[in-house]
Structure 1
Amino acid sequence: MSGSILARAGLVRMTGRDPHQHHRVASPLELFFDLVFVVAVSQASQNLHHGVVEGHAASATLTYAMVFFALWWAWVNYTWFASAFDTDDWLYRVMTIVQMGGVLILAAGVHDAMVEGRWDTVTWGYVVMRLAMVGQWVRVALSDPSRRRVAIRFAVGISIVQLLWVARIAFPPEVQFWTFWPVMILEFLVPVWAERVQGTPWHPHHVAERYSLFTLIVLGESLLASANAIIDARNAEGHSGDLAVLAIAGVVLAAGMWWTYFSREQGDGLGAGRRAFTFGYAHYFVFAAAGAVSAGIEVELDLITGAAEHLDAGTASLALTIPVAVFLVARWAVLLRGRIPASASALFLAAAALVLACALLPVVTVVGTAVAVVLAVVVLEYRRSRDRLSRP
């Protein structure tokens, strides 16, 4: 299609953006796109919370991981595509809004998936998001002959995997569960296979900023849980002290996790090839763990107020400490490994181990976890101050 025809239609040729563009930041459309994930992540976190307090911690955690994969993977694919090919014309905006609709459909099915094992609504919402992305890749193939091969590979690979997702919902819940994992692996392999022929012109600092913004979204869920503890503390009789401690610890946890995430610049170290895939894929654990921390705080809230009859202190402790520890370890693996001395890495990982050790003493879990996260922050800040002093 010629440039004049595209111009008359109000469209821009999708040929890829400059990966070295100065001052590249997230667009208003990308920020709008992220808003729908607030709803979806909240649904997943709430159902994880309810599953734990109802005595189904293992199954709730597993289904949470599955639902979060669907959310995260759709977000990841849009983010990297937008970094490389965002034209911001009306068609691009419409296709993005279609994907947002898919997120809302998926969010509507989270309860059925996590509680009843019915994945049809989640699947259809996910497929809507992914097929909209197929349309975007087809547009790249038509617009940019130099990147046609990689675009076609993405379009074909994503389409085939979506057929498998849809085929799954025709089977009983048990079959849907076991077939989830191989299809998930195929989703992971599509970008690897597609970009073997050619890379895409994504912007390192823009991608790093987008990941940072999503981190703020999932950490915001923890702040909401802390706010709930503060509200309950004002109205509760006999538990106000414990609830106040929980609220303060929740704020410290969220702040500490934020601090560790933003302690180092990410864009400078985000290179092409294996480094990019490691950064993109390993963030699943960062995001999923951060989203689960809010559920852990809510579980501790129920334990204090006695709202959950069958909840024991050990389970509540693990619900909080495991996601915090996973977040710290994942953060180290993605950002800090190789960028801080071995001694600092050892101390940072020791703080993560201390978080898990707090689960052995449920009486001090909340405070101990917050203290351990503060220690991790101290390690990073001390190392950063030493680095500054050593500069000429």
Structure 2
Amino acid sequence: MAEGQRAERAGPARLLRQSEHSRQASFLELFFDLAFIVAFTLLSARMVGDLSWFNLGQTLILLAAVWWVWVATAWSTDWYDPNQPLIRGLVLGVMFVGLVQAAAIPQAYGQHGLVFAGAYALIHLGRAALLLPALRGHPIQQRSRLVAVWFGLSAIPWVVGAVLTGAARQILWLVAILLDYVIASLGWPVPWLGRLRPAQLRVVGEHLSERYQQIFIVALGEIILVTGLTYAREGMGLVRTVALAVVFVNAGLMLWMYFVPVSRRLGGAIERNQPRGAVYAAYFHALMIAGAVLTAVGGELMIVNPLGDAPASWSMAVLGGAVLFLAGRSLMGLLVYAHPIWRTSTALGLLLASSPGLVRLPPLVVGLVTAAALLSVVLVYVFLPGRQSRAARQRRQDREARPEQEGQDREDQEPG
């Protein structure tokens, strides 16, 4: 039987991630994430120069496309063995083309539109071009085939939009990215070719949750990078130092709120909600990543003009970063615990309710308010821990008495 298993894995099955493979992210996946520092930084720089609603909408489409490149690659390394030469080459190829795509961001709606759209289409269709022949004869080839069909369809508005100008490009690209996002939640069904079974869309929750953690840290790193460079450029006065400290505190509070306690349970939530749990986690992280990018924008503007007269859009950027993060964090908590999380939801509601008055204040004052809102959530977690059932507490005590027992209590409410 062992020889039969080795023979089976010598074919297309050798590319698949096996149950005995490590669930930790590989060094190649960590290296891959570095390319997104460039993309996030250029996206924030694109917004700093123009905070109009039209430009924000355009930038959101670009961010959604960049994020979907990361998501599709993270799923690929979850479904396939990243130690296989073909998969390594695929990841490195996506990383390089992704760098080209990122470099096109400043002029994506200008002279480099075809570069951005072409890179996006090349990444997704190139992945299929490599995997389909390699998986020939294996049932899992159907998964790559159906996914490739939909990416091929969305490539049409991407490329056509790239050769058009003005609002037509934005509309077609919006249609294309919405198609990619929505069809993923449906499992990429194709008429006459069938749809994928839930088992074919299963992911390794522990591995994928770790990948989400790593890219979120990269996004927070972009906040530190942008604000640090701005602080060095604008001068190290007292007020600007306070502004830098406020941005740093906001980033640190986002980090704490992400990792404690929801992120450590995300893997189990993805496993319980297969196959759509991974898709929903991608959607919710898109909001938090957008919040981090907008926080970098607001942080740069806060350091440039902390207390002086500034457009309301500057303060709105500072506020918007926290709002988007809290929205994504609340939804991720809902995915993990299957009920609304009042801590983050309350802070989000208060910021939204007070936003008409806040945007009239200087950026630094708004930054202090958002820091206070995030800090209040953290303090509530620390001093008002969530209630747990008697059975849940007993199981927790049993685990502490038997540390070798793995797993965690799915009935626990959100801890403090």
**TM-score of the pair, normalised by structure 2:** 0.80
Pairing partner for 2:329 from 328, 331, 341:
331
Q: Answer yes or no: is the 8 Å Cα contact 2:253–2:375 preserved in 1.
A: yes
Percent of residue pairs identical? 22
Deviation of 1:335 (Å): 2.2
CA RMSD of aligned residues (A): 3.0
Q: Answer yes or no: is the 8 Å Cα contact 1:243–1:301 preserved in 2.
A: yes
Task: Tell me the distance in 2 between the aligned counterparts of 1:375 and 1:66.
Answer: 32
Counterpart in the other structure of 2:295: 293
Counterpart in the other structure of 1:283: 285
Task: Tell me the distance in 1 between the aligned counterparts of 2:9 and 2:278.
Answer: 33
- Report the secondary structure of 1:321's partner residue: helix
- Report the secondary structure of 2:50's partner residue: helix
Pairing partner for 2:238 from 238, 241, 264:
241
Deviation of 1:72 (Å): 0.2
Deviation of 1:336 (Å): 4.5
Match runs of 1:197-208 below 5 Å: 197-198=196-197, 199-208=200-209
What amino acid is the match of 2:59?
Y
Counterpart in the other structure of 1:26: 25
Counterpart in the other structure of 2:320: 322
Pairing partner for 1:150 from 143, 146, 164:
143
Counterpart in the other structure of 1:132: 126
Q: Judging changes above 3 Å, is the alpha-carbon distance between structure 1 residues 87 and 338 closer, same or farther for their aligned structure 2 residues?
A: closer
Q: Judging changes above 3 Å, is the alpha-carbon distance between structure 1 residues 358 and 373 closer, same or farther for their aligned structure 2 residues?
A: farther
Deviation of 1:305 (Å): 9.1
Q: Answer yes or no: is the 8 Å Cα contact 1:355–1:369 preserved in 2.
A: no
Deviation of 1:204 (Å): 0.4
Deviation digits for residues 307-350 of structure 1 (CA, Å, limit 9, x no counterpart): xxxx7242211111112111112111122567377654554434
Aligned length: 372
Deviation digits for residues 253-302 of structure 1 (CA, Å, limit 9, x no counterpart): 00001111111221111120333322222221111111121011111122
**TM-score of the pair, normalised by structure 1:** 0.84
What amino acid is the match of 2:315?
S
Deviation digits for residues 96-132 of structure 1 (CA, Å, limit 9, x no counterpart): 2111121111112111125x47522211221222122
- Identify, as 1 or 2, the structure richer in helix: 1
Counterpart in the other structure of 2:113: 119
Q: Judging changes above 3 Å, is the alpha-carbon distance between structure 1 residues 136 and 288 closer, same or farther for their aligned structure 2 residues?
A: farther
What amino acid is the match of 1:282?
F
Larger RCO (CA within 8 A; separation ≥ 6) = 1
Q: Answer yes or no: is the 8 Å Cα contact 1:324–1:355 preserved in 2.
A: no
Counterpart in the other structure of 1:212: 213
Pairing partner for 2:305 from 293, 303, 306:
303
Counterpart in the other structure of 2:399: none
Pairing partner for 2:164 from 171, 179, 196:
171
Q: Judging changes above 3 Å, is the alpha-carbon distance between structure 1 residues 336 and 376 closer, same or farther for their aligned structure 2 residues?
A: farther
Q: Judging changes above 3 Å, is the alpha-carbon distance between structure 1 residues 6 and 98 closer, same or farther for their aligned structure 2 residues?
A: farther
Q: Answer yes or no: is the 8 Å Cα contact 1:49–1:295 preserved in 2.
A: yes
Task: Tell me the distance in 1 between the aligned counterparts of 2:111 and 2:53.
Answer: 14
Counterpart in the other structure of 1:110: 105
Task: Give structure 1 stretches of 5+ with no counterpart.
Answer: none
Match runs of 1:328-367 below 5 Å: 328-336=326-334, 339=337, 343-344=342-343, 346-350=345-349, 352-353=351-352, 356=355, 358-362=358-362, 364-367=365-368
Counterpart in the other structure of 2:59: 64
Q: Judging changes above 3 Å, is the alpha-carbon distance between structure 1 residues 183 and 208 closer, same or farther for their aligned structure 2 residues?
A: same
What amino acid is the match of 2:188?
A
Counterpart in the other structure of 1:75: 70
Q: Answer yes or no: is the 8 Å Cα contact 2:284–2:332 preserved in 1.
A: yes
Q: Judging changes above 3 Å, is the alpha-carbon distance between structure 1 residues 387 and 93 closer, same or farther for their aligned structure 2 residues?
A: same
Counterpart in the other structure of 1:89: 84
Deviation digits for residues 28-47 of structure 1 (CA, Å, limit 9, x no counterpart): 11111111111111111111
Q: Judging changes above 3 Å, is the alpha-carbon distance between structure 1 residues 355 and 140 closer, same or farther for their aligned structure 2 residues?
A: farther
Task: Give structure 2 stretches of 5+ with no counterpart.
Answer: 1-5, 190-194, 395-416
